[in-house]
Chains A and B, each alone.
Chain A
Amino acid sequence: MSAHSRRALSRRGFLGLGGGALLAGTLAGCLGSNTSGSRARDSRVVIGLSAAVTTLDPMNTTSVGTDLSVLSSVYSSLVTRRPDLSIGPDAAASWDRVEPTRWRFHLDERAAFADGTPLDADVVLWNVERLLDADNALRMTSNFPLLTGAEKVDAGTVDLVTSEPDADLLGALSFLYLLSPAWAESHTPATATMGSGPYEITRYSPGGIVELRARDDYWGTAPAVRHVTYRITPSEAARVSGLLSGELDLVAGLDPQDLDRLRTDRELTVHQLDTTRMAFIKLNTLTGPMRDLRVRQAVNHAVDKRAITESLLKGTVEPSPGQLLTADYAGYADGLSGYPYDPDRARELLREAGYGDGNRLHVELTVPTGQYVAGDLIVQAVAQQLSQVGIRADINSIPFTVYMQKYLVDQDMSDMQYITQAWPTLAAGGLYGLFVADSPYAYWDDAEFTDAVTEARTTEDTARRNELYATAARRAREQAPVLFLFPQPGIHAAAKDLEWRARPDDWVRPAEMSWKGAA
């Protein structure tokens, strides 16, 4: 044995080694730390993402909060949804509807890819072909059910053609990011990027860090933030600690349970708003006790929605006024009110439906484990309140896959299930489409609702369309195919000096941010 290893066996040696490692690591950590103040001077932002950016192919992902938010900085779409949720120009400077089923887009003459090739009509044609080719099995394709193809008018003008009038097309197009055909020939879009957007990716490891740098030769308005680092922090605790320690400048989609801690930190601004995702408990109106309207109305009266929003969701959202849509949807109808919390009325309705002391109503309430913000807690609160009016609700907590398999494929939904639903293009017809009779999502066969929605979807006249959607909303309120709850809260926290408007539709775009006081 050498003298060196003999020493290593001594007690003091061991302790010294351990202490040395600790010290070295600590010093390294000190040198590596950074503050939002110095980042503001460098025009740099560090964003914590809840999930990895798994693919760089913008047509093969539908995750708005992660993949698409990053890719929207790198690629352009024809049109874009602005922070106020209106549709604005991007690669297309203007557009008009030349026929009910034909939209004409005039491309911005300046629009070009990072390698200098222009973004012209041929580029749009190629991208629409790629999207619609069933062999490509792209995940974005099902957002365009009515799109049949694109036609070139001239180099800077292109027509998109739909099989039926499609009021939803512009909203969908804000999700369609355009690749360069020549570049895509020789590169794999899943693992590399070359776009026409304001930023370029300078570093990407799947699941690890993603870094962006603002392009100097970007054809549009130059973004204020010049460098962006995305850190993948899957655990909520890590996101909160990252914010509190100043390592992260912005995290979107936080848990209401962490609000108190975040609000008391003077270095942070907390943004809270209703998302476009509605939470409710879906009722299976096709089989079992929920076929009876009185039972559906009884459960709506039995649950104190406000108590849940105040306690579990820390007052971040208001109970829904008996609506399936949130107020941000095109076609949202004002003037409805939710079912008031009235346990006596609930008991009365249950008695009328034939339930009582001798014949207690027994239902199954399913929730997917860990899938939705505070889902498990909300379901427990609901079950507890249902028991107050004499309904025994057995909670069945199952993995999301099994839940989706039962719900969608096997068509075997339980009596009640907790779910949140949104429609990315913010069209009433889209989200209502999940409730029309022939949809596998519906579990509700209602002719009046289905007719109103079906007619509205192809109605050109906005006033008439909104009237039809209002009819649908009233019908849903009255027939209660769900236990109405509340919009899912959007809780975002950012460094105090970072100017950013939180959006209800999950997009987090560095181009919409700037540091206060920075030039």
Chain B
Amino acid sequence: MVRFVLRHLGLTLVAVWGALSAVFLVLHSSGNPAVMMAPVGADEDQIARLSHALGYDRPLAEQYVSFFGDVLRGDFPDSLTFQQSALHVVLERLPATLTLAGTALLIACVAAAAAGLWSGSREGGGARREWPMWLVFLAQSVPGFYIGVLLVWIFGVQLRWLPTSGSEGAGALLLPALTLACGVTPPLARVFRNSLRGELSRPYTRTGIALGMSRARVLRHAAHGSMLPTLTILGLEAGALLGGTVIIESVFSWPGVGQLVITALQNEDYPLVLADLTFLITAFVLVNLIVDLLYGLLDPRVRHASERS
């Protein structure tokens, strides 16, 4: 188990380093941020001075080595626009994103479980059984930013029940979290429904029913058996959820790391882009690591296989 975790952590570091290197090279070959920072009318000398003061006149290899040296020391270079440690700026935004992503994930799990249970456990067919899946299908077909704008228009502008944007109070959390959940729920619900149906047609279910188990009890066993494939999808979707925050946070002016990375890119704030992505990439890889670990907990076969190897 320990070796399993260590190997995954090692891979996590390699993945973060690889992704950051790619972003670093693409960013730095696309232009010099000093050109953007200098006010209109600045001549070549002024741009060159600013470029020198910020260290962007050094060879790319030297900038690369010094950047990763700083990062390894835990000392991210200062953000160009915020003029303070880029890591500090990202960490300040972190709670907002975690709250949003966590709430969205919770909504998605609840909605997916409800839809999956309804459609997966019913006999027969037709609309009465499938309507939750139709809803889910609809949610997946419409882009998140559009759902967001639609929800804002209905609940914010027309009904004025909820704030249209911002992060003040629980009401402000609801619309962005719902919107974000719309993208994550469908695959979860579908996989859960299908595996539930699969489990319900397996011999142990029939045996249980034959032995006179209550319907709820049979369902519980079947649901437990359906967890593994659902969890795999959950791991993948958690990544998509982080990606989704980039768009949804911008739509709802939610002050998290997703909105920050857009602002940073627009301002050519390279240190901030890199610090922000370091967080997003690490979070993505870590979530997948946690899912891998949960596998072991949920399915003894996985645990034993990894212990034997």
- Do A and B share a complex? yes
* B 131-170 to A, binary, CB cutoff 8 A, 1 in contact else 0: 0000000000000000001001101110011111111111
The answer to whether A401 and B30 touch across the interface, beta carbons within 8 angstroms, is yes
Of B246-254, B279-287, B296-304, which binds chain A? B246-254
**Are A24 and B41 in contact (CB-based, < 8 A)?**
no
Q: Does A335 contact B (CB under 8 A)?
A: no
Alpha-carbon gap, A32 to B160, bound state (A): 11
Residues of B near A26 (CB, < 8 A) are: 161-162, 171, 174
Residues of A contacting B161 with CB < 8 Å? 26, 29-30, 33
Q: Which of B42, B219, B253 has the most A CB atoms < 10 Å from its CB?
A: B253
A137, A139, A188, A191, most chain B CB atoms within 10 A: A137
Min CB distance, B87 to chain A, in Å? 13
Task: Verify if A354 is at the interface (C-beta below 8 Å from B).
Answer: no
Distance to closest chain B CB from A164 (angstroms): 16
Q: How many B residues are at the interface, by size bracket?
A: 35 or more
In the bound complex, residues from chain B placing their C-beta under 8 Å from that of A30 are 161, 171
Within A214-237, the residues touching B (CB, 8 Å) are 231-235, 237
Given the contacts A207-B259, A433-B41, A400 and B36 also touching, CB distance less than 8 Å? yes
Residue A458 lies at the interface, judged by CB distance under 8 Å to chain B: no
Give A32 to B262 CA distance when docked, in angstroms: 28
Known: A137-B50, A231-B253, A234-B250. A21 touches B157 (CB 8 A): no
- Contact: B263 with A52, CB < 8 Å? yes
Q: State whether B31 touches A18 (Cβ < 8 A).
A: no
Q: Is residue A396 contacting chain B, with contact meaning CB distance below 8 A?
A: no
Instruction: Give the contacts of A184-224 with B (CB-CB under 8 A).
Output: 188, 190-191, 205-209
One of B30, B39, B173, B253 near A232 (C-beta < 8 A): B253
Interface contact B114-A18, CB-CB below 8 Å = yes
Given the interface contacts A55-B83, A247-B164, A405-B35, does A14 sit within 8 Å of B263 by beta carbon? no
A54 within 8 A of B: yes
Given contacts A26-B161, A207-B89, contact A18 B111 (CB under 8 A): yes
**B117 at interface, CB cutoff 8 A:** yes
A353 at the interface (CB under 8 A from B): no
Residues of chain A within 8 A of B255, CB atoms compared? 205, 207-209, 232
A237-B251 in contact given A18-B107, A401-B268 (Cβ < 8 Å)? yes
CB distance from B35 to the nearest CB of A (A): 5
Q: Among the listed B35, B110, B169, which residue makes an inter-chain contact with A29, where contact means beta carbons less than 8 Å apart? A: B169
* Minimal beta-carbon separation of B221 from chain A (angstroms): 11
Partner of A434, one of B32, B37, B41, B114: B41
Q: Is the CB of A25 within 8 A of B174?
A: yes
Query: Binding site of B, secondary structure by majority: helix, strand, loop or mixed?
Result: helix
| Cα distance, A497 to B31, chains bound together (Å) | 46
Contact in complex: B40, A234 (CB < 8 Å): no
| In-complex Cβ contact of A245 among B113, B160, B170, B252 (8 A) | B160
Q: Report yes or no: B39 in contact with A208, Cβ–Cβ below 8 A.
A: no
A233 CA / B253 CA spacing, docked (Å): 5
Q: How far is the CA of A507 from the CA of B292 in the complex (A)?
A: 54
Q: Given known contacts A25-B171, A433-B41, A440-B43, is B153 in contact with A241 (CB within 8 Å)?
A: yes
Known: A232-B255, A235-B251, A421-B40. A409 touches B47 (CB 8 A): yes
Chain A residues with CB under 8 A of B170: 24-25, 28-29
B70 within 8 A of A: no
Task: Across the interface, name the chain B residue whose C-beta is closest to A17.
Answer: B110
| A280: Cβ under 8 A from any B Cβ | no
Shortest CB-to-CB span from A436 to chain B, Å, is 11
Are B253 and A439 in contact, with the CB atoms below 8 A? Answer: no
Known contacts A11-B114, A15-B114, A26-B171; A55/B32 CB under 8 A: no
Given known contacts A137-B50, A409-B35, is B262 in contact with A234 (CB within 8 Å)?
A: yes
The residues of A that contact B53 with a CB separation of less than 8 Å are 135, 137
Closest chain-B Cβ to A414's Cβ sits at a distance in Å of 16
Q: Would A246 and B260 count as touching, CB distance under 8 A?
A: no
Let me know if A235 and B250 touch, CB within 8 A: yes
Nearest-neighbour CB distance to chain A for B276, whole angstroms, equals 11
Contact with A along B38-80 (1 / 0, CB 8 A): 1111111011011001100000000000000000000000010
B165–A241 CB distance below 8 A: yes
Are A206 and B92 in touch, CB under 8 angstroms? yes
| Cβ contact within 8 Å between B41 and A207 | no
From residue A105, how far is it (CB to closest CB) to chain B in Å? 24
Task: Judge whether B295 is part of the interface by a CB distance below 8 angstroms.
Answer: no
- Docked-complex contact A208 and B41, CB < 8 angstroms: no
A234 to B247, CA, bound (A): 11
In the complex, the 7 A-B pairs of residues with the closest C-beta atoms, listed nearest first: A29-B171, A25-B174, A401-B31, A29-B162, A137-B53, A241-B164, A190-B83
Provide a sorted-by-A list of 26 A–B residue pairs whose CB atoms are within 8 angstroms: A11-B117, A17-B110, A28-B169, A29-B172, A32-B168, A32-B169, A33-B162, A51-B263, A54-B79, A139-B39, A205-B255, A206-B82, A207-B92, A208-B255, A231-B165, A232-B253, A234-B250, A234-B253, A238-B152, A238-B164, A238-B165, A238-B253, A241-B153, A409-B32, A434-B41, A440-B43
Since A244-B157, A409-B44 are in contact, a sample of 5 more A-B pairs with Cβ atoms closer than 8 Å, ordered by chain A residue number, is: A29-B155, A32-B168, A54-B82, A208-B255, A434-B40
